[in-house]
Structure 1
Amino acid sequence: MNEAVQDTVRELMGQAAIVLVSPKFAENVGSAARVAANMGIGRLILVCREVPDRERMLTLATAKAAHLIDTLEHHRELGEALAPFGWVLGTSARQGRKRTTVNSPRQLMGEVLPQLKNNRVALLFGPEDRGLANEELRYCNQITTIPTVDFSSLNLAQAVAILCHELHYSVLDAVSRTAFPVSAPKQGDKQELEAMFGHVEETLATIGFLKKGEDDYWMKSIRQFLGRIGLKSKEIKIIRGVCRQLLWQDRQKSPGKGKSE
């Protein structure tokens, strides 16, 4: 690999971060740090009540990834941790009525790659015993399942390794062949999106589109649709402007209703 290719791969991989939600074992955090460092990802984020024991994390991180343990970010709320990111790829082994069909990591990398130049990308993983819950997956632009035979559950560190490798391989292959896809524009971050989704939900409830018992289903579909498109900050402001106008008109008909922020 020539130096120019190596520098470009390093720059693009530097846009990605590993986000671990409530990891149960400090050693898995250490292993995830080691994988991230090997693949050129320089940001490790934990969402949990307390930071795991540092020495246990360092045992498997080894000296080469110790810097990720020393600089890891800690948040108590997932929304806060994901606020600066423009694109989130979540992992899930579970399928069910409320979960849509998802693709393998390799199939989805073609959609992730264009985001890397102008957007921060988060690879999101849930705890070892249950994975990501539906309320956590709602932050994701994409959801992926790692293909397995029969036994679907993977160790957290293994799942991190597979996704990091697929991302690194896709970046390296595209850069080496000078066939990198056209870069996506800078997206609105998750903080902007969550504010917009709150406004959209309030508006749809006000006009009667959302009905009690069905609101989660419809909002999940709306989140997936708008999240997959990738909205810029200006477009988010336009949607929120439309919501404000609809809510304002409704208040004119019913003056006693509260005012939206």
Structure 2
Amino acid sequence: MTEKGDAVDQSLLTNIQVVLVEPQHPGNIGAVARAMKNMGLSRLVLVNPPENFRGQEAVRMALNGADILEKAQTFSSLEAAIAPMGLVIGTSCRPGKERFPVYTPREIVPRVLATARTNRVALVFGPERSGLCNEHLDLCHLLVRIPSSEAFPSLNLAQAVMVLCYELYAACAQESIPPASCMVPADTVQVEQMYADLQDFLLQIGFLDPQNPQRIMRALRRLFGRAGLTSREVSILRGIIRQVRWYSERGHQTATRSRDLGTERLPPVETTAEDAKG
């Protein structure tokens, strides 16, 4: 089809990138680039793609999206690919009981566009055969699943990308974009550092099962992912973890004596520029 496209503000779409984790077929990568081009997205990121991902098959499938394919960034890990992101949306066709809530593409659009006003957003898709594994899903703030027929629920990679990109483009075209939040979300690096601190401490006090700490950690990730933590909130939570760790390790008796003497001192809490403003 070659009909004239709709006029859409591209500023939000430029802050949204499509991340393909370990895509297996160059043709599928090219088809994804074409789908993105159709819907006004331009940032493609590939994690461990095949060596010939810019080969003849990929270029043929990309058609007018060949420029997106040419400019695609590559990373060796999902962690590195999403490090600067303020919001990471993972896709899954098999949500387990620990992964709820799972949103539809239409439900997730307002959150994506509101974040994209001030920060970068990643839409993460897994390998064609298996989808995202648990370790990859753990790095996502929110999960989305595309409703499809129970008789044949599996979508091609490019089809899945097209569905999400279409919902975003349609929302922009309808001028139904939600206002920007005054709270800028913390980037993925900050959030992952907080999760590492939290897991270490919860293991230390025996709250997590050492053989399967992710069972509880996944629930906590979902909780904080829905909240959309800011940099200040992450700093506060990490400060709480440090204070409680200090108190549990060596501070209880010291703090009790100091309190009795009126000289109680706890380790300082790190502050940010946002804290200084009040």
TM-score, normalised on structure 1? 0.87
Rounded Cα–Cα distance in structure 2 between residues aligned with 1:240 and 1:253: 17
Q: Report the Cα offset of residue 89 of structure 1.
A: 1.2
User: Which residue of 2 is the match for residue 141 of structure 1?
Assistant: 141
Q: Report the Cα offset of residue 245 of structure 1.
A: 1.8
1:165 aligns with 2:163: no
Gaps of 5+ in 2: 1-5, 253-278
Rounded Cα–Cα distance in structure 2 between residues aligned with 1:122 and 1:253: 42
**Within 5 Å, which residues of 2 pair with 1:1-261?**
6=7, 9-48=9-48, 50-55=50-55, 56-62=57-63, 64-149=64-149, 150-173=151-174, 175=175, 179-184=176-181, 185-252=183-250
User: Which residue of 1 is the match for residue 257 of structure 2?
Assistant: none
Rounded Cα–Cα distance in structure 2 between residues aligned with 1:121 and 1:132: 18
Q: Report the Cα offset of residue 182 of structure 1.
A: 2.4
User: Which residue of 1 is the match for residue 260 of structure 2?
Assistant: none
Q: Report the Cα offset of residue 180 of structure 1.
A: 2.9
Q: Report the Cα offset of residue 49 of structure 1.
A: 5.7
Stretch of structure 1 that moved more, 45-54 or 10-19? 45-54
Rounded Cα–Cα distance in structure 2 between residues aligned with 1:205 and 1:169: 45
User: Which residue of 1 is the match for residue 259 of structure 2?
Assistant: none
> Match for 2:154: what amino acid?
S
Q: Report the Cα offset of residue 94 of structure 1.
A: 1.1
Q: Report the Cα offset of residue 207 of structure 1.
A: 2.3
What does the per-residue CA deviation read over 1:126-165, in whole Å, with 9 as the maximum and x for residues that have no partner?
A: 0110111111111112111111112111110111111110
User: Which residue of 1 is the match for residue 255 of structure 2?
Assistant: none
Rounded Cα–Cα distance in structure 2 between residues aligned with 1:60 and 1:37: 12
Task: Flag the structure with larger Rg.
Answer: 2
Partner of 1:45: helix, strand, or coil? strand
Q: Give the percent of matched residue pairs that are identical in Structure 1 and Structure 2.
A: 36
Rounded Cα–Cα distance in structure 2 between residues aligned with 1:251 and 1:147: 49
Gaps of 5+ in 1: 255-261
Q: Report the Cα offset of residue 88 of structure 1.
A: 1.2
Q: Report the Cα offset of residue 253 of structure 1.
A: 6.3
Change (3 A) 1:107 1:239: same
Rounded Cα–Cα distance in structure 1 between residues aligned with 2:201 and 2:179: 35
Aligned length: 244
Rounded Cα–Cα distance in structure 2 between residues aligned with 1:170 and 1:128: 27
Rounded Cα–Cα distance in structure 2 between residues aligned with 1:40 and 1:65: 10
Partner of 2:103: helix, strand, or coil? coil
What does the per-residue CA deviation read over 1:76-115, in whole Å, with 9 as the maximum and x for residues that have no partner?
A: 1110101011111111111334432522111221222211
Partner of 2:18: helix, strand, or coil? strand
For the 8 Å contact 1:25–1:52, the answer to whether it is kept is no
Consecutive aligned runs of 4 or more in structure 1 exceeding 4 Å deviation? none
> Match for 1:17: what amino acid?
Q
Change (3 A) 1:139 1:40: same
For the 8 Å contact 1:103–1:144, the answer to whether it is kept is yes
Q: Report the Cα offset of residue 70 of structure 1.
A: 1.4
> Match for 1:73: what amino acid?
Q
TM-score, normalised on structure 2? 0.82
Rounded Cα–Cα distance in structure 2 between residues aligned with 1:33 and 1:14: 14
Q: Provide the alpha-carbon RMSD of the alignment.
A: 1.9
Rounded Cα–Cα distance in structure 2 between residues aligned with 1:99 and 1:188: 22
Q: Report the Cα offset of residue 214 of structure 1.
A: 4.9
For the 8 Å contact 2:104–2:147, the answer to whether it is kept is yes
Q: Report the Cα offset of residue 249 of structure 1.
A: 2.6
Stretch of structure 1 that moved more, 146-155 or 18-27? 146-155
For the 8 Å contact 1:78–1:136, the answer to whether it is kept is yes
Change (3 A) 1:126 1:235: same
Rounded Cα–Cα distance in structure 2 between residues aligned with 1:145 and 1:103: 6
